[in-house]
Amino acid sequence: MRTINRSLCLALLGLSFLALSLWDLPALAAPTEPLLAEAPPEGFYVSPKLRRLLGSHTSYQFGDPLERKNNPLSRLEFPLDSWWGGLEVGYAHPRYSWRLEALTNISRDVDGGRMKDSDWDDSSRPGVKTIYSESWCRLKPSLTLDASLDYSLRPHVALPRGLDLRPLIGLRYQRYTFETYDGVQTTLTEQDAWGAGVALGGEGIWFRQEYVHTYLGLRLGYGLDLPQAWGWGRRAEFFLQGDWAYVKGDNRDHHLLRQGDRITQEHTTGDAWHAALGLRLPLGDAAFLNLTGDYMRIRTTGTHTLYNSAMGISEPFSFDYGVEAWSDQYSLTLALEIPLGSFWR
């Protein structure tokens, strides 16, 4: 019921936002001066993008449903530091804009990253890590999508010259697929010393994590004149965006080194906070150069389901004790925004 209520609230807010963007509301305050001395270009644009993820990871864990003091029982942490590329298309207007971004990874090996697998399986000593392994990790073909619509409040709210405030609504999708290989595992001995490492040769884990975000937020822009000596024509813009998302997540983890078919799944829900700070610089009258820094924090909880033919589990075994999935993502994005109208004039 709580999930239904959240979805209903988001749907109502989204419909209200769309109505606001399509209906010319009466001014709530005296109109201010235009944001720019000359109205920004109106029309479609394309924007090739290059993104770098830094210090980022995506992870999950679960507890022991039979020995509840064992929490967590197992945790897996996958690094995300990698290069991504793709394209954004959109439509810009002084009162509103919409955009659609699609990116895929262009690097395979995660830079310097190893997957970390930790277990706390001694019920007599809960909280003591007993098994630990690290494996090299590669990123299989993965995908992120981001679509949003915003509407300027400037015609309706008194704002200082140069400022623009835009509520926005959007939908974000992330699919990360990993493969681990050539790991080393060690076990804690009775003398509380880590034993010699055991090689885990070959491919160890195939893991896919998906998140769907429905988000609401605000974007604050500030336009400023560049020195005439630079000869860059249009104004530059600083922008700050913050948004909150209701998130649904799905994990699928196939342990390739285990006997039989050993697959786990997590279905989770939660939320995400995202913040972005960027600079948009004009390149004459032909294009804009955009540099953006982002941080995203995802936290979800849900159920864990185990399939294991070698253990004689003929029916899926599910529980919700200590099941969490989370991700912290830091990124820098460089984009070249090209108004299509400049090619058609």
Fold of domain 2-344: Lipocalin (2.40.128)
Contact 102, 91 (CB under 8 A): no
Q: How confident is the model at residue 310 (pLDDT cuts 50, 70, 90)?
A: low
* pLDDT mean across residues, the chain: 84
Query: What percent of the chain is predicted at pLDDT more than 90?
Result: 55
How many angstroms separate the CA atoms of 241 and 47, rounded?
19
- Indicate whether 280 pLDDT > 80: yes
Alpha-carbon dihedral angle through residues 151, 157, 163, 168, given to the nearest 10 degrees: -20
- Indicate whether 220 pLDDT > 90: yes
Of residues 182, 70, 185, 60, the one with CA closest to residue 126: 70
Amino acid identity at 6: R
DSSP, residue by residue, 286-344? TEEEEEEEEEEEEEEEEEEEEEEGGGTEEEEEEE-TT-EEEEEEEEEEEEEEEETHHHH
How many angstroms separate the CA atoms of 236 and 233, rounded?
9
pLDDT per residue over 153-212, tens digit each?
A: 988 888 888 899 999 999 999 999 999 999 999 998 877 788 788 888 888 889 999 999
Residue 123 — φ and ψ, nearest 5°?
Answer: -65, -20
- Indicate whether 37 pLDDT > 80: no
pLDDT recorded at residue 49: 98
- Indicate whether 30 pLDDT > 60: no
> Which range is least confidently modeled, 28-32, 129-133, 265-269?
28-32
Q: How confident is the model at residue 19 (pLDDT cuts 50, 70, 90)?
A: very low
Taking the model in full, what pTM does it have?
Answer: 0.84
Burial of 227 (0-12, 13-18, 19+ CB in 10 A): exposed
- Indicate whether 32 pLDDT > 90: no
pLDDT recorded at residue 309: 66
DSSP three-state, residue 3: helix
- For residue 20, give Cα distances in angstroms to 23, 63, 96, 281: 5, 46, 10, 29
Which sequence spans correspond to the domains of the chain?
2-344
DSSP three-state, residue 232: coil
Average pLDDT over residues 328-345: 84
- Indicate whether 329 pLDDT > 80: yes
Burial of 158 (0-12, 13-18, 19+ CB in 10 A): exposed
pLDDT per residue over 90-105, tens digit each?
A: 999 989 999 999 999 9
Choose between 303 and 341: higher pLDDT. Answer: 303
Burial of 190 (0-12, 13-18, 19+ CB in 10 A): exposed
> Which range is least confidently modeled, 34-43, 159-168, 267-276, 336-345?
34-43
DSSP, residue by residue, 150-182? EE--TTTS---TTEEEEEEEEEEEEEEEEEEEE
How many angstroms separate the CA atoms of 62 and 75, rounded?
7
pLDDT recorded at residue 315: 65
Amino acid identity at 185: Q
